[in-house]
């Protein structure tokens, strides 16, 4: 599992300026548990640029510079808590990037057989790491290649995965094609007893146990639209609709929401 942070702003802005130094400090404090790597994606003319690391954000001396120097109208930051059994190495760090899109996921999709069956062979061969999250991204990529609209491609892919994994958290942030897309799909997701025990020995906010898989949005003092996991910051957070896909335009910050399961 992981923590997600997304930023959309009318003018290029750094993560630290968009959310405020104190909110970013709260976010970095989550590395008490989510210390198995980090990554950032920022929108650009040629598609998202991405940097990932297998180090904890709090120990990586490069982390502050990326938070302060990478400016964009749309950005994603990810803190990784590696799924048990998966290696902590750069190719398993989020965001993943391919086909003009970047994606970060918060959840665990197990067992893997049905996920593998949903992957197209050509896309499966293009994967760099071993995570269920990158395979999930591969399924979205396949839908995008045959669907003219990005939000509908994401919705259809999430619905496909949901049909096989009714209890999995499919929360994700995607960046590309002039949009930041927030998938809020975790209706039946719960933390394992082992995860609860690991969080309980930290001083992380109670939200990590009460609503770990919640995904929210807020406006910061700069006017930026912020999307984030529960458990950090003092922004005026509002919940995203449950079981929904939300596309935020990088041009005007308009939010378009569709339910995961179409009528």
How far apart CA 181 and CA 187 sit, in angstroms, is 18
Which residues are CB-contacts of 206 (< 8 A; sequence separation ≥ 6)? none
Q: Which two tokens mark 125?
A: 């061969």
Share of the chain above pLDDT 90, in %: 81
Strand, coil or helix: 240:
coil
191: pLDDT strictly greater than 90: no
How far apart CA 38 and CA 143 sit, in angstroms, is 27
Q: What is the mean pLDDT of the chain?
A: 93
Convert the pLDDT of each residue in 62-77 to its tens digit: 999 999 999 999 999 9
87: pLDDT strictly greater than 80: no
**Tell me, what's the pLDDT at 59?**
93
**Tell me, what's the pLDDT at 85?**
57
* Domain assignment of residue 59, given as a range: 2-259
What CATH number is associated with residue 195? Answer: 3.60.20.10
Alpha helix (H) residue ranges in the chain: 15-19, 21-29, 63-69, 113-118, 121-126, 132-146, 150-164, 193-200, 207-210
101: pLDDT strictly greater than 70: yes
How far apart CA 147 and CA 234 sit, in angstroms, is 38
84: pLDDT strictly greater than 80: no
pLDDT: which is higher, 208 or 38: 38
129: pLDDT strictly greater than 70: yes
Convert the pLDDT of each residue in 202-230 to its tens digit: 888 888 888 899 999 999 999 999 999 99
**Tell me, what's the pLDDT at 230?**
92
23: pLDDT strictly greater than 80: yes
How far apart CA 59 and CA 99 sit, in angstroms, is 31
Q: Where does the pLDDT of residue 239 fall: very low under 50, low under 70, confident under 90, or very high at 90 and above?
A: very high
pLDDT: which is higher, 189 or 187: 189
- Tally of structural domains, the chain: 1
1: pLDDT strictly greater than 80: no
Range 188-212 average pLDDT: 84
Nearest to 135 by CA among 100, 170, 84: 170
86: pLDDT strictly greater than 70: no
Range 124-150 average pLDDT: 96
**Tell me, what's the pLDDT at 231?**
85
**Tell me, what's the pLDDT at 263?**
63
Range 239-262 average pLDDT: 95
**Tell me, what's the pLDDT at 201?**
84
Q: Read off the DSSP letter of residue 235.
A: S
Q: Which two tokens mark 39?
A: 């990554």
């Amino acid at each position: 599992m992981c923590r997600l942070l997304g930023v959309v702003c009318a003018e290029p802005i750094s993560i630290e300026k968009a959310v405020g130094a104190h909110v970013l400090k709260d976010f970095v404090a989550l590395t008490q548990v989510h210390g198995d790597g980090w990554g950032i994606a920022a929108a650009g003319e040629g598609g998202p640029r991405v940097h990932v690391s297998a180090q904890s954000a709090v120990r990586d001396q490069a982390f502050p510079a990326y938070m302060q120097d990478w400016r964009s109208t749309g950005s994603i930051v990810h803190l990784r808590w590696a799924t048990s059994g998966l290696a902590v190495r750069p190719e398993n760090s989020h965001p993943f990037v391919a086909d003009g899109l970047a994606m970060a996921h918060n959840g665990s999709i197990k067992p893997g057989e049905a996920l593998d069956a949903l992957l197209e062979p050509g896309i499966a061969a293009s994967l760099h790491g071993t995570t269920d999250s990158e395979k999930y991204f591969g399924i979205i990529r396949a839908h995008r290649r045959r669907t003219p609209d990005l939000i509908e491609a994401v919705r259809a892919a999430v619905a496909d995965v949901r049909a096989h994994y009714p209890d999995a958290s499919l929360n994700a942030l995607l960046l590309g094609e002039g949009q930041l897309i927030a998938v809020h799909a975790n209706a039946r997701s719960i933390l394992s007893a082992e995860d609860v025990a690991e969080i309980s020995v930290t001083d992380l906010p109670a939200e990590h146990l009460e609503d770990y898989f919640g995904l929210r949005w807020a406006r910061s003092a700069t006017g930026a639209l912020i999307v984030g996991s529960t458990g950090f910051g003092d922004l005026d957070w509002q919940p995203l609709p449950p079981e929904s896909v939300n596309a935020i335009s990088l041009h005007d910050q308009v939010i378009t929401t569709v339910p995961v399961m179409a009528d």
